[in-house]
Amino acid sequence: MHDYLENLYNAKRRQSFVEYLSLAVYPRNCGHIWVGFVKEACSPPEEAMMNLVKKILAIVACAVGFLSGPALAQDKPNIVLIFMDNFGWGEPGFNGGGIIRGAATPRLDQLAKEGLRLTNFNIEVQCTPSRSALMTGRYAIRSGNAAVPLGEGVYGLVQWEVTMAEMLSAAGYRTGMYGKWHLGRTKGRFPTDQGFDEWYGIPNTTDESAWTQLEAFKKSGIGDSYVFEGKKGTDPKKVRVYDLEYRALIDGDLTDKAIDFMRRQAKSKQPFFAYIPYTATHFPTLPHPDFKGKTGNGKWADLLHQIDTYVGRLIDETEKLGIRDNTIIIFTADNGPEALPSGQSHLSVEGVYGGSAGPWRGTLFTGFEGALRVPFAMRWPEKIAAGKYTGRQSLSVWHDRFH
């Protein structure tokens, strides 16, 4: 093992991409494959999966400097990463939820059926650490983001952290983010300071949308929460107050803006990374007016139907743009379901609707399986065989395993 680690370290120092990749992807002793942010324990790995791993690792390695951008210009798939908020393992139909949760999820199920489903995908148990790990590939404690920030002040990613968006930008990708950041709310710590070419969304969390409705809000001295919009190289601007009215509307706008981004990049034939961290299903649980009452099974079911519809629109757009076969679509979440019982909350005038972790115990903010394990489905036509799944443990960090 010592010789293996030494060879791996020396290969990295020499920036020998082929040697490093072969060592990192297929260690001598049964090994662990790291697919961007997916780990597969294997003994031995299937050849098809190995080829997939090498392709995805090549993209990431290219971005961090092991290989020049032009060398892989012909092999840069578009990436659409859909990241839900407080969305439990047991919600989508492909994990046994869907209709028993009040609304069928045919589009999410389609994504899983046409690609790879990970049934043991593990993340952090809170919003901020989970997003930090996803963006940097490192355990959140290493970036100082091991817990959700409370109160005022500075928090989030510092400039020397290297994000997924920065790496993909270096590889020639256009990068757009539409949704919840929760990794910084002050100058120098917004998404457009961390590799994204453009951003529309909220810097913090959705429960802030309810603050203005609380009786003591005006006396508290706390300011309104805002939706921001920005471009790389400029300070993001406040575009509107984030209140309960817009809380119900925002995910529809995020979908529209993400689709517009995809269209612009497809037209210019530019590879793109579209990161879509939706605000659903974080409380307050308010479906868009277009979906309110649609299922007849309550707000939560309406919201689940809304999520499935929005994901379906993103899937359909890759078909319309003729980029289906060269686009990776990933659907997952930041942590398990809400911690409070359904209909109860001391933080919001709107009730919390508890989600489902399926058979797993626990919710977000706990150390149980229900907090750590979330849904995961990934489609890459003709690269990932349809209908594949694995229960082997997978993690949302990858950088720490290379270093």
Tell me the catalytic residues: 127, 182
Q: How far is CA 182 from CA 17, 23, 165, 261, in A?
A: 34, 35, 15, 22
Separation CA 34–CA 395 (nearest Å): 9
Q: How far is CA 316 from CA 29, 203, 235, 333, in A?
A: 42, 28, 33, 21
Separation CA 185–CA 152 (nearest Å): 10
CB of 350 closer than 8 Å to CB of 338: no
To 10 degrees, the CA torsion angle through 246, 247, 248, 251?
100
Q: Which of 287, 313, 312 is nearest to 300 (CA)?
A: 287
Burial class (CB in 10 A: 0-12, 13-18, 19+), 234: exposed
Most distant CA pair in the chain, distance: 65
CB of 268 closer than 8 Å to CB of 74: no
For residue 281, whether the previous peptide bond is cis, meaning omega lies within 30 degrees of 0, is yes
Separation CA 108–CA 315 (nearest Å): 10
